[in-house]
Amino acid sequence: MTAPHTNVQKISEMASRHLSSLSVDCVVFGFHKNEMKVLLLKIPYKDEWALPGGFILRDESAENAASRILKERTGLDGVFLRQFHVFSDPGRVKPRDHRDNLTRMNIPENDIKWLCSRFVTIGFYALVDYTRAVPTPDEFTTRSEWRDLTDPGMLMMDHRVIVNTALDTLRLQLNNLPIGYNLLREKFTMPELQKLYETILGRKLDRRNFQRKILSYRILLRLDERKTGVAHKAPVLYRFDYDGYHRALEEGLKGGF
């Protein structure tokens, strides 16, 4: 069987070019029409999706590998990207399943052997601008798509666990780090920002408490403009204060002891 839509010819001598036993998987979040999206790749011959991922070159850090993979899969660089957890359950790959599919894709046997060995994967999550990302498949896949986070379809291996852990991390980090810079348009209303938080948290927030709390972090600038084309009272526009936002990224939000 041939694999006309994939680029398996690019794969060769995987073992000699990469660190053994280690991979990187990226949970790429986007926000569109009040829904959280996750970028996934369609596995050929199977009704399964996979996270964008790859391996670490011999002279590369895990962070650089993740940035490289993210750039290849979305066209974007310089985005918020952060390691969040290592997944190392020895049973996380079913080598038999994996081998069957790789064999169908005409991948060289020595590479299949390497690809079917045990990998510990480092999970990274990224927050990207949905409108600017260009989903691009990798050598093993034919299609890349934004999928609804709440209903992404069947995910391969432990990728659903990886997505859920990334989401849990993101929810916890809302209390420590500013968020929204890559997820919203440059100017936004307070209800739009609240909706982003509600979508990530999966629950409603009190309007007054949210506004009080988010303003106390000093990461927003209130603009002397109002949103146009709105039926009723036009809401005030905000944008992120670049200095305040980046200081909070470095030092954490002042919500603690």
Burial class (CB in 10 A: 0-12, 13-18, 19+), 235: middle
Q: Which of 154, 172, 223, 236 binds a second copy (CB under 8 A)?
A: 172
Return the range that interacts with a second copy (CB under 8 A); candidates 28-36, 39-47, 53-61, 93-101.
53-61
- In whole angstroms, how close is the CB of 102 to a second copy at the nearest point? 21
Q: Which of 210, 217, 235, 239 binds a second copy (CB under 8 A)?
A: 210
- In whole angstroms, how close is the CB of 153 to a second copy at the nearest point? 27
213 binds a second copy (CB under 8 A): yes
Segment 32 to 51, residues that bind a second copy, using CB under 8 A:
none
Structure tokens at 153: 């379809």
Which amino acid is residue 12, in one-letter code? S
Segment 77 to 136, residues that bind a second copy, using CB under 8 A:
83, 85-86, 88-90, 118, 120, 122
252 binds a second copy (CB under 8 A): yes
Which amino acid is residue 185, in one-letter code? R
- In whole angstroms, how close is the CB of 69 to a second copy at the nearest point? 14
Which residue's CB is nearer to a second copy, number 101 or number 173? 173
- In whole angstroms, how close is the CB of 207 to a second copy at the nearest point? 12
63 binds a second copy (CB under 8 A): yes
13 binds a second copy (CB under 8 A): no
Q: Dihedral of the CA atoms 215, 185, 243, 210 (nearest 10)?
A: 10
- Beta strands 53-57 and 80-87 are unpaired
Residues in a beta bridge with 55: 23
59 binds a second copy (CB under 8 A): yes
Which residue's CB is nearer to a second copy, number 125 or number 146? 125
257 binds a second copy (CB under 8 A): yes
19 binds a second copy (CB under 8 A): yes
Q: Which of 116, 161, 174, 221 binds a second copy (CB under 8 A)?
A: 174
Which residue's CB is nearer to a second copy, number 69 or number 133? 69
Between vectors from CA 61 to CA 183 and to CA 81, what angle results, nearest 5°? 10
Which residue's CB is nearer to a second copy, number 135 or number 252? 252
Give the C-alpha distances (Å, rounded to integers) separating 185 from 28, 32, 78, 198, 250: 18, 11, 17, 17, 22
Q: Interface with a second copy by CB under 8 A: which residues?
A: 19-22, 56, 58-63, 83, 85-86, 88-90, 118, 120, 122, 172, 174-176, 197, 201, 205, 209-210, 213, 252, 255-257
